[in-house]
Amino acid sequence: MRQLVSRARKHLTSERHASVPAAEQRELLTTFLAAARSGDMAELERLFTPDVTSLSDGNGRKGVARTPVVGAARVAKFLQAISTWFWDEVDVRWAITNGQTSAVLLQNGVVYGLLTVGATTEGIDQVLWLVNPEKNKAVSTAG
């Protein structure tokens, strides 16, 4: 586990490639969501950079990864595993957070979390989940 955290920190602090324009980031997020919902590992791996990192802030919430998941195959397997239950009754609305498109995840009309991806010209290099109930209180679905 320490190796995964160490690799994630190294990835996050290493020099990143140029980010993609906002429209391309949204397109990648949209394609990512479709593949994640269906558990399409091949499509997920195609979208990811080799060292993609999935990070979750769940504040101990049940069913939320507590450590970073690193690497295209590992992140795809993780997403395939949760695709059988996570996306049940989840609706998606769009929002702009920190200057990029995010998906507001709603379960039964209530905000469950935010999801976004960081992307470079090489593909998705970060999957960022904010599913911390305390922080999600500030998320609005208006607009």
Domains of the chain: 2-132 (3.10.450.50)
Residue 3: per-residue pLDDT: 47
Q: Are 45 and 127 in contact (CB under 8 A)?
A: no
* Average pLDDT for runs of 10 along the chain of length 143: 46 60 94 96 96 84 78 96 90 91 92 93 95 76 50
Residue 19: per-residue pLDDT: 85
pTM value is: 0.81
Task: Write the CB contacts of 44 (distance below 8 Å, at least 6 apart in sequence).
Answer: 32, 35, 36, 72, 75, 76, 79, 80
Segment holding 103, helix H or strand E: strand 100-107
Residue 32: per-residue pLDDT: 97
| Angle made by CA atoms 36, 27, 143, in degrees to the nearest 5 | 95
